[in-house]
Structure 1
Amino acid sequence: MLSTDQAQTLLTGGGNVVDSQGDKIGGIGQIFLDDQSGQPEWVTAKTGLFGTGESFVPLRDAEVSGNDLRVPYDKEKVKDAPRISDPEGHLDEAEEDRLYTYYGVTGYSGTTGDAGYAATTGTGTVGTGTADRSADLGTTGTSNVEGDISGPETDSAMTRSEEQLHVGTERHATGRARLRKYIVTENVTKTVPVSREEVRLEREPITEANRGDALDGPDLSTEEHDVVLNEERVVVDKETVPVERVRVDKDTVTEEQRVDETVRKEEVELDQSGVTDDGRTRG
């Protein structure tokens, strides 16, 4: 028979209910305990579209296989099991008897099935088997406290857990900057002064100062004199020179971003419905 410790391990392990061949029937949903013995009696398998339905399977002859629970029924048998109106609540005797009859095992009313099985009077819910659920065990009974695995081997304390939000940062590449140079052509206009020589005819009268030069030579003759004329022309020369250094640098800008997230935590309350005014436990 499945123990409460094994039940707790299955709930927190995120395993599946599988058939005898190891094929998945559905994820482990909840485990229900017997009110009197405190031992696991039923498991729910998440079936239907997206696992929204829950089908009850008896834990008798079930075996633990790693994180999975192996049962001696195929998927169709489990999927067609009688539906319970409130699978999150307490499984009453009539519902339990109907399920025992469907699976053909001895239940509360003594329906013929596996011989020698003890009758049960109801079950208390163990809770859902999600991976982050606390693995606490409480006292057995019909209080239907979700997440409570009750059994005679547990003590009077339970652990309260909560989710804590840890916010950090990670680096992501958001873009790339590349330094590139290219050649453009532009017109440059400059004014440069240029000079040239022109011919000008000068006449000077004969004076005592230049009379000697004027009478030097024959009286009448034919002569030619050449004068070279010069001018300046614009010469263009281009020279490549470095003008500046350009580099790419990065600046880190820090800004505040607000993070809103929902965290869950467990609360503990005391149920004294089973205690009389004089402090004694009701039977």
Structure 2
Amino acid sequence: MISTDNIGALVGSTVIGSDGDKIGTVGQVYVDPDTGRPNWITVRTGLFGMRESFVPLDAAEQTGDDIRVPYSKDFVKDAPNIDHEGALEEDETDNLYSYYGGGSAGYSRTADDDRGADTNGTVGHDTSGPNTDDAMTRSEERLHVGTEKVQTGRARLRKYVVTENQTVTVPVTREEVRIEREPITDANVGDALSGPDISEEEHEVILTEERPVVAKETVPVERVRLDKETVTENETVTGEVRKEEIEFDDETTRTDRR
């Protein structure tokens, strides 16, 4: 049985499921308008508590700051999705009781004043937990960008043989026969008359020429190696981040007197 002594203190309490695991925290408390007894709570679930599911308090027990309910976390999360801003309508309570198994009744949410005022007179409620002070914390996500090394490819040296034609001009010499005739003079008349008057005679001259000779040799021309260098460049990274904004609603009615 949930105590009615301080209903506002239930907000922010931890809700424990039937398996002993934490389901979430109490976001709001709904009371029976006739008896004033709390009969429904909304439980904030999810990673950031963005979802609120209705849970009946008929079979709930309060142990210290915890509220134990006879339902599992998954069962509570799958409860009918009902707007928790405002009073519960009859058809909404019927759907909830049909899901959890029970009767039907009309309920209204606790007034803001029931959520408690501290001893210093500060009125407020931290929706992420029980009342602490008169301020709320605004948070936002930040991008933390780092680098990692990944393999992008391989580079290797490979040597292969290519055959090509090379033309080189080489000067060569050759001997050719040339006939020289000289007249009979006093200087050579002796040589001319030294043989028989009439005879047959042959003279032979050996001719030579140069021919190109091709020889090949292998010589080293250069050395090639693989090396790496580090190149630094700027790269733009885009990511989505969330942040909380705080709005101020002033519903105070003032009457100016003159």
TM-score (norm 2): 0.56
Aligned residue number for residue 209 of structure 1: 187
Report the Cα distance in structure 2 between the residues aligned to 1:35 and 1:272, rounded to whole angstroms. Answer: 24
Aligned residue number for residue 134 of structure 1: none
Aligned residue number for residue 109 of structure 2: 122
Q: Select which of 170, 174, 197 maps to 2:175.
A: 197
Report the Cα distance in structure 1 between the residues aligned to 2:209 and 2:247, rounded to whole angstroms. Answer: 113
Deviations 1:119-150 (A, max 9, x none): x86369xxxxxxxxxxxxxx938xxx998145
Q: Are residue 148 (structure 1) and residue 146 (structure 2) matched?
A: no
Aligned residue number for residue 215 of structure 2: 237
Deviations 1:95-126 (A, max 9, x none): 568746864679977xxxxxxxxxx86369xx
Gap change, CA 1:209 and 1:158, over 3 Å in 2:
same
The farther-off stretch of 89-98 and 171-180 is 89-98
Q: Select which of 88, 92, 106 maps to 1:92.
A: 88
Report the Cα distance in structure 1 between the residues aligned to 2:77 and 2:44, rounded to whole angstroms. Answer: 11
The answer as to whether partners of 1:91 and 1:123 remain within 8 angstroms in 2 is: no
The answer as to whether partners of 1:43 and 1:57 remain within 8 angstroms in 2 is: yes
After TM superposition, give the deviation of residue 75 of structure 1 in Å: 8.8
Q: Are residue 177 (structure 1) and residue 152 (structure 2) matched?
A: no
- What is the total number of aligned residue pairs between the two structures? 223
Deviations 1:8-60 (A, max 9, x none): xx8xxxxxx976498xxxx957743326899x9343678xxxxxx97533462
Aligned residue number for residue 57 of structure 1: 55
For structure 1, list consecutive stretches of 5 or more residues without a partner in the other structure: 11-16, 47-52, 64-68, 110-119, 125-138, 278-283
Secondary structure of the residue aligned to 2:115 is coil
Secondary structure of the residue aligned to 2:137 is coil
Q: Are residue 252 (structure 1) and residue 231 (structure 2) matched?
A: yes
Aligned residue number for residue 205 of structure 2: 227
Gap change, CA 1:191 and 1:221, over 3 Å in 2:
same
The answer as to whether partners of 1:196 and 1:232 remain within 8 angstroms in 2 is: yes
Report the Cα distance in structure 2 between the residues aligned to 1:165 and 1:75, rounded to whole angstroms. Answer: 32
Whose radius of gyration is greater, 1 or 2? 2
Report sequence identity in percent.
Answer: 51
For structure 2, list consecutive stretches of 5 or more residues without a partner in the other structure: 3-8, 32-36, 117-123
The answer as to whether partners of 2:43 and 2:52 remain within 8 angstroms in 1 is: no
> What's the Cα RMSD here?
5.2
The answer as to whether partners of 2:12 and 2:25 remain within 8 angstroms in 1 is: no
Report the Cα distance in structure 2 between the residues aligned to 1:209 and 1:200, rounded to whole angstroms. Answer: 23
Aligned residue number for residue 34 of structure 1: 29
Aligned residue number for residue 159 of structure 1: 137
TM-score (norm 1): 0.52
Secondary structure of the residue aligned to 1:212 is helix
The answer as to whether partners of 2:41 and 2:54 remain within 8 angstroms in 1 is: no
Aligned residue number for residue 43 of structure 2: 43
The answer as to whether partners of 2:10 and 2:29 remain within 8 angstroms in 1 is: no
Q: Which amino acid aligns with 1:148?
A: T
